[in-house]
Structure 1
Amino acid sequence: MIPIPPFEELAAEIRHALDPVAFARERCAFQPDPWQERVLGSRRKRILMNCTRQAGKTTVTAILALHTALYRPGCLILLFSKGERQSTELLLKIQTLIATMVRPPGMLKDAATEVRLKNGSRIVSLPGDGDSIRGYSAPVLIVEDEAAFVTDALFESFAPMLATSNGRLVLMSTPNGKRGHFHSLWTSLRPNWQRESITAHQCPRISAEYLDEMRHDFGPWKFRQEFECAFVEADDQFFSDVAIQRAFTRSVPLLPLVF
């Protein structure tokens, strides 16, 4: 017979299941920033995170994925990125959380590309190629890391996988110019997406001295993109994005033909 846990432990388990923020603080020893609390506590199906480097987007997404795996037994969670290294880094963050958390869950598999819990949930990291997603269906959560650098073709191939599961889709990245699905979704007026942005100036763990150094080393264009969440045109770009878009307009009148 399985022993009944103490009342306090049972109450904590219920609280953590209902409140991912409490789960982060009490089980993972992580104190989230206000924007991270909004992400963890969100009920939205679609979340965009446009964040500076070192803002903590990987950690908060790892906690979100772990909480989902723990409290939705038998679920599938997929982690995508541009390449295998980036996607396995996110999974490694989840594995580190499990190894250091209070009352860690039992695991059936702990590999470089997959974690499988005893409750049947799986977290799988996949590299950024279309062939890698074959054989997976109905995930309850898809996370796209460095989404601005992932091809639109890959995004278009895995997004429909959520149709039957009514699952969640989380995209996180620093900007990469005014191009691609991440930029399109961020700048669109579609209300179904929750948008969270944190610049380096808003992150309490990044000092003003460090930012002054990076501004000098990176230059204004690169600094705005990496640390200020700006979708900027490349500084060596001959034509602006606006000029390129105008070049493809259908409103240009046809010239008359003279014979």
Structure 2
Amino acid sequence: MPESVRGRIDRYHRDLENEREREEAGKRPLTEETDVVEFFKHLGFRPTAYQEKLLRDKSKLILARWSRQSGKSLVMAGVVLFNALTQRGFRAAIVAPSLRQSRKLIDKIDRLISRLGIDVLEGLPRKGKLAFRNGSVIEALPNSPDTIRGETLNMVVADEFAYIEHDKELYDAIIFTLSTTNGPFFATSTPGSRDTLFFGMATDDEIFGDFSRHHVSYREALRPNGPIDPEFLERIRKQYQTDPGRWTREMEAEFADDEDAYLPRELIESCVMDNIETFTREDVIGGRLSRTGKFFAGCDPALKIDHSAVAVVEKQAPHIYVTQVTAFPQATIFSNVTGYLNLLNERLQTLSRIYIDETGLGGFFVQDAVKSGLKNALGINLSLPEKQKIMDILKRQMQDGTLHIPRDPELMNEMSNERVQLSKTGQLQFSHPAGTHDDRLWAVALAVYAARNEITPYHPVAALGKNPNYIGPTFDLRRLRLGVGPFNTSNPGDPPWTIANNRPWNIRRW
């Protein structure tokens, strides 16, 4: 039976009323709580002292370096949900090392919503996205700068930020998404590698001094002050007995050297000297550099993935000082690097030797460098035995206290991230973690390798009237006669006799 006119009018009226109620609800906060700590309690949780400190932090850049099982994810879920409920049209993004991990935090927020006892979502929750009746949205996004770029967000949480690849590019994209809203950025994680942006945010006061930092170890999180059970802690402690670095990172929330790191952080720090007379690439290109001394250089050329790097050391026997390390942008053409080496050769009037990695395409680079006028350039084939020899010399100089480096965070991170493993053949294999580089390190190692022995500075033959690099005998070859016999040589150190055409020749007296 068709619906009557009156019935259609009543239904239309009800729809209008429902729509008006939704609009009115969208204008009102979805929770009566106005304090985030009270809201956390309303959800049924009693925040610890360190959790309350983070909940009340109003900073725009916040770093949470917390141990495992300290309640970090719960607090972040509470912070994001509170802002979504109290701000109309609030937009938050969650990023993590993988989309699956980002969605785990979304699931935690969804479980908190069930504790509210009221319907706050617009429709059913979708995988990785929560849409609220007040127009707020919380979404899990891939950890890709291209995905984030172009968004306008009120808050971004980067969970396990120490383990996100391309963290620098992602952070740049995130900052721009928050630029118009002036919203907060949360970087939360247990410590990982030192060659990460998270390490810089946690330790570099000069660049990241505006970050509000929260550090929580297992000690602060033990019951009754936190959620960690002492029995659970002892089980974890036993499991990590053979992996102290992991215990340091995950339970003490401190940065630690991996057991397979070739150069311990403490050794690197011991080589840092603040008053080294360094110079920059701009000094070289701009012509402001004019130095005398005993200089040696190392070059690690690269094409697309890595950076071409050049390092210069000054030798004041027995000490060696790293005076400059420069890394060129990725995909820099070889001719630019060669041109820079020629400028170095010109500015440093006593650049004795340039050692260049000639492995792979580096062989062509060395040939072009010599053709361009770098007669003091020498190619080094970085085979496994040669790498071991070069790195052994570098490490010995550091241990002896004769190698001094400037406080260059990028160089120091590359040094601390170099890994070593023993191969089946008994040779050391060097590597670096995925997403990191070691170009600066090898440039420095090659420069130190070049400086290990004194090398006679190069002088043109025309300037001296003879070849100063001649290593043959100093006696007059016209004085040779066939046979061997007693005689006196004219110059100390001359051989008493020589071999030519498989026959001995004696030096005649005049």
TM-score of the pair, normalised by structure 2: 0.45
1:171 Cα deviation from its structure 2 partner: 0.8
CA apart distance, 1:103? 3.2
Against the structure 1 CA distance between its residues 191 and 238, is the aligned structure 2 distance closer, same or farther, given a 3 Å change threshold? closer
Of 220, 242, 245, 1:221 maps to: 245
Task: State which drifts further: 121-130 or 183-192.
Answer: 183-192
The residue matched to 1:196 in structure 2 has which SS?
strand
- The 5 A counterparts of 1:88-103 are 88-103=103-118
SS at match of 1:143: strand
Task: Provide the C-alpha distance between the structure 1 equivalents of 2:215 and 2:116, rounded to a whole number of angstroms.
Answer: 28
Instruction: Give the SS at the match of 1:123.
Output: strand
SS of equivalent residue, structure 2 residue 139: strand
Q: Which amino acid aligns with 1:56?
A: G
Say how many residue pairs are matched.
248
8 Å CA contact 2:154, 2:181 repeated in 1: yes
- Out of 212, 219, 223, which is 1:194 matched to? 212
Match in the other structure for 1:150? 164
> Aligned partners of 1:215, 1:180: CA distance in 2, in Å?
26
AA in 1 matched with 2:186: V
| Structure 1: gaps spanning 5 or more residues | 4-9
Deviation at 1:135, TM superposition (A): 4.7
Amino acid at match of 2:236: M
Evaluate the alpha carbon distance shift between residue 173 and residue 122 of structure 1 in structure 2; reply closer, same or farther with a 3 A threshold: same
Q: Which residue of 1 aligns with 2:358?
A: none
Find the aligned partners of 1:87 and 1:37 in 2 and give their Cα distance.
23
CA separation of 1:249 and 1:69: change in aligned 2, threshold 3 A:
farther
Between 1:38-47 and 1:116-125, the stretch displaced more is 38-47
SS of 1:110's partner is: coil
Amino acid at match of 1:201: R
Q: 1:48 aligns with which of 63, 88, 91?
A: 63
Partner of 1:178: 194
Q: Bigger relative contact order, structure 1 or 2, given CA contacts below 8 A and separation 6+?
A: 1
Of the structure 1 ranges 235-244 and 48-57, higher mean CA displacement relative to structure 2 is found in 235-244
Q: 2:84–2:137: 8 Å Cα contact kept in structure 1?
A: yes
Mapped partners of 2:78, 2:131: distance in 1: 16
Instruction: Report 1:1-80 matches (<5 A).
Output: 14=32, 16-17=33-34, 19-26=35-42, 28-80=43-95
Q: Tell me if structure 2 keeps the 8 A contact 1:113–1:124.
A: yes
- Aligned equivalent of 1:105: 120
Q: 1:13, 1:158 → 2: CA distance?
A: 28
Cα distance in 1 for residues equivalent to 2:235 and 2:182? 45
Structure 2 CA distance, aligned partners of 1:249 and 1:147?
34
Counterpart position of 1:252:
322
Per-residue deviation, residues 161-199 of structure 1 (Å, max 9, x unmatched):
111111100111000022211110111224422211211
* Residues in 2 aligned to 1:146 and 1:13: alpha-carbon distance in whole angstroms: 29
Residue ranges of structure 2 left out of the alignment (5+ in a row): 1-16, 22-27, 273-297, 299-310, 314-320, 324-347, 353-456, 460-510
Which residue of the partner structure matches residue 411 of structure 2?
A: none
Partner Cα distance (1:30, 1:149) in 2: 29
The alpha carbon displacement at 1:13 in A equals 5.0
- Greater mean alpha carbon deviation, residues 216-225 or residues 114-123: 216-225
Work out the CA distance in 1 between the residues paired with 2:85 and 2:191: 31
Query: Residue 85 of structure 2 contacts residue 136 of structure 2 at CA under 8 Å; is this kept in 1?
Result: yes
Say which of 121, 124, 128 aligns to 2:136: 121
Alignment match, 2:154: 140
Task: Specify the SS of the correspondent of 2:322.
Answer: coil
CA contact (8 A) 1:88 1:113 kept: yes
Paired residue for 2:178, among 157, 162, 175? 162
- Separation in 2, partners of 1:41, 1:249: 49
CA offsets 1:189-231 (integer angstroms, 9 cap, x no match): 2442221121112212223333233222122111111100110
Instruction: Label 1:85 to 1:118 Cα distance change in 2 as closer, same or farther (>3 A).
Output: same
3-state SS in 2 of match to 1:212: helix
Q: Using a 3 Å threshold, how does the CA distance of structure 1 residues 191 and 99 change in structure 2: closer, same or farther?
A: same
* 8 Å contact kept, 1:109–1:117: no
Any conservation in 1 of the 2:31–2:86 contact (CA below 8 Å)?
no
RMSD over aligned Cα, in angstroms? Answer: 2.6
Check if 1:206 corresponds to 2:228.
yes
CA contact (8 A) 1:201 1:208 kept: no
C-alpha distance in structure 2 between counterparts of 1:42 and 1:249, whole Å: 45
Rounded Cα–Cα distance in structure 2 between residues aligned with 1:122 and 1:249:
53
- Tell me, yes or no, if the aligned pair for 2:149 and 2:177 is still in contact at 8 Å: no
Q: TM-score normalised to the size of structure 1?
A: 0.86
What is the CA-CA distance between 1:159 and the residue it aligns to? Answer: 2.1
CA drift of 1:108 comes to 3.5
